Amino acid sequence: MARGDVNRVKVHFKGEDDDFLVFLDSVEDYQRWLSDRSVPLAHVVSSFKVFTTHRRGAQGIYEGASKSMLENEFGTSDENDAVLKILEKGSLQEFEV
């Protein structure tokens, strides 16, 4: 597959100490979820995994965020709670793979 053939969507949250990302399945489902929380999150996110770029903005190398990073930024080490906060406060970004 040639580069640039696939569009991906993510929500980027710039935290106090780091940048956090959650990947989405669909922009439409995310926008519907923002106005109607009865939309299942499983239809919105690609996975319940939070990624970090270690202060490289939305474009750095993606690594899974540690529990201590989540605790420091979001006040919880629960990835599901962190995903919710990122979706609520982050910015939507589309990019090509």
Q: Which helix (H) or strand (E) holds 73?
A: helix 67-74
pLDDT averaged per 10 residues in sequence order, the chain, 97 residues = 66 92 93 93 93 73 92 95 96 79
Would 1 be classed as within a structural domain? no
Number of domains in the chain: 1
Residue span of the structural domain in which 76 resides: 7-96
DSSP string, 37-68: TTS-GGGTBS-S--EE-SSSGGGS--EEPPHH
CATH number at residue 72: 3.30.1250.10
Task: Supply the pLDDT for residue 57.
Answer: 59
Would 90 be classed as within a structural domain? yes
Would 63 be classed as within a structural domain? yes
Q: Are 20 and 86 in contact (CB under 8 A)?
A: yes
Task: Supply the pLDDT for residue 5.
Answer: 59
Task: Supply the pLDDT for residue 1.
Answer: 43
Would 81 be classed as within a structural domain? yes
Would 13 be classed as within a structural domain? yes
Q: Are 18 and 52 in contact (CB under 8 A)?
A: yes
